[in-house]
Amino acid sequence: MLSDATGEVHCCIAALHIALVGSSAASSTTMDLPIICTLTGPELAERRRTVLDAVRKGQVRTYRLPNGYTYEFPARAEMLERLETLVALERQCCPFLAFNLNQTATAIRLEVTGSQEAAAVIESLFGSANNE
């Protein structure tokens, strides 16, 4: 995501760190990084079509956090694989968000956090708590 001279925010797909079990707060290093994505417009469109749309369709619940969101998915092997693929791809282009991926017997929870300015990116990726 980029901000122009008017302060308008231009969105991109996001992510960085994955921890199978970890803290819910983004690290201070992640919080201080500029909100810049290296994907081009066509690359972003392709990422949304091939990876993100499938992940978004599998979402069952959304929870608002002070610095991001937790997205809940069914505990299925193929969903875990999709989420791991998404995070691996996203860490290559947008190092300003943190991901925590936790699995229980019944659900997979993807926690996406970052700075206050990164909230629009998180919402554009997966939706907000109001868009369950």
Residues 16-41: b if buried by 16+ CB within 10 A, e if exposed: bbbeeeeeebbeeebbebebebebee
Q: How far is CA 39 from each of CA 12, 26, 44, 52, 112, rounded to the nearest angstrom?
A: 8, 22, 6, 14, 19
**Domain, as residue range, for 16:** 2-131
pLDDT value for 75: 97
pLDDT value for 70: 95
pLDDT value for 31: 58
Q: At 108, phi and psi to the nearest 5?
A: -115, 130
Residues of the chain with pLDDT under 70: 1-32, 130-132
pTM of the predicted structure, to 2 decimals: 0.71
Domain count, the chain: 1
pLDDT value for 20: 31
Tell me how far apart the alpha carbons of residues 62 and 111 are, in angstroms, rounded to a whole number.
10
Q: Residue 5: beta bridge partners?
A: none
pLDDT value for 22: 32
Q: Residue 112: beta bridge partners?
A: 69, 99
What 3-state class would DSSP assign to 27? coil
